[in-house]
Amino acid sequence: ARYKLVAVLISAFLTALGGTFYAQYIFYIEPFQTFSLDFSVLLAMMAIIGGLGTVWGPVAGAFLVTPLQEILQAELGGALQGLHLVIYGTVLIVVVILLPQGIVPSIAAWAKRTFGQRETRPAASRKEAA
């Protein structure tokens, strides 16, 4: 129970820190913009695409989804309202079907299969082998 409390406190601290940086970045906070459906879907999509069970999954998801968001905003603009959500949904469905654990765990599993576990020996046994 103590570890869960510490984890919640760390998470709350990082969330508050992120919110502070976000407020400074946009210089204006409006509840309908800040807590919009688009923004909530985007945050969830970052975590799901990257991998929910890992620390680096949501970070990797953010590095993949943020450029997608910027490209869609630049290309679509205001011409086709809602099309970006259709594209987000399509990307999410493809990732969930092809990589159900997310990108980071899938890459880690692929690397483990491809390169295998390297055998590590203590420093003393390396000296003896030489």
Q: What is the pLDDT of residues 15-53, one digit of tens each?
A: 899 888 888 888 877 777 767 777 788 888 899 999 988
Confirm whether 120 is domain-assigned: no
* Residue numbers of the domain that contains 8: 1-33
Confirm whether 123 is domain-assigned: no
54 and 109 part of one domain: yes
16 and 71 part of one domain: no
4 and 57 part of one domain: no
Transcribe 15-77 into DSSP letters.
HHHHHHHHHHHHS---HHHHT-HHHHHHHHHHHHHH-TTSSSHHHHHHHHHHHHHHHHHHHHT
91 and 107 part of one domain: yes
Q: 25-29 long-range CB contacts below 8 Å, 24 or more apart?
A: none
* Per-residue pLDDT tens digits for 87-125: 888 988 998 899 889 999 999 999 898 887 665 556 665
66 and 93 part of one domain: yes
Overall domain count for the chain? 2
Confirm whether 18 is domain-assigned: yes
42 and 27 part of one domain: no
Confirm whether 119 is domain-assigned: no
9 and 58 part of one domain: no
